Amino acid sequence: MKITFASLLVLGLVAFTGCDKGTQGGPGATNPSNRNTISQDDDTFKLSVPTFSTSIKQGESKVVDIGIKRGKNFDEDVSLKFDNLPKGVSLDPAAPAIKHGDKDTKVTLKAANDAAVGDFTVRVIGHPTKGPDASNDMKLSVEKK
């Protein structure tokens, strides 16, 4: 019983905090061997996306937070791009960004009445002022209204 409880507690903590996935970007990420490391260099950044799949129904809007984990020497603006959005799903603002000093930004996903239904993986790409991009995958589920 104790082992089962402990296992559930660990799984819950992993699900709550999410996995440290995605690639890092910024000036310190110019070496490809640094792109998927567990530790983060001082002049890099990583993007965080919702841990669980974001669900939205056709005709609805939903606000999601896109966060940034900055190395201690990384203080640049990061513009965001969303690749592989399903047909009929748009963003507001259309060109979101995380300003230097900010820890996140809010983006509104809008599903048209005829948006494609299904489960999708949307690639969130962060483009810094200098250095390579960082990316992370966000799960999106569009449901029939």
Domains of the chain, CATH where assigned? 22-143 (2.60.40.10)
pLDDT at res. 126: 97
Spatial separation of the C-alpha atoms in residues 75 and 52, rounded to whole Å: 28
Any residues with CB less than 8 A from the CB of 138 and at least 6 apart, and which? 49, 50, 54, 64, 121, 122, 123, 124
Cβ(45)–Cβ(78) under 8 Å? yes
pLDDT digits (tens, 9 = 90+) for 42-75: 889 999 999 999 999 999 999 999 999 999 999 9
Spatial separation of the C-alpha atoms in residues 130 and 28, rounded to whole Å: 10
Tens digit of each residue's pLDDT, the chain (145 residues): 444 444 444 444 344 434 457 888 777 665 444 444 445 678 899 999 999 999 999 999 999 999 999 999 999 999 999 999 999 999 999 999 999 999 999 999 999 999 999 999 999 999 999 899 999 999 999 999 9
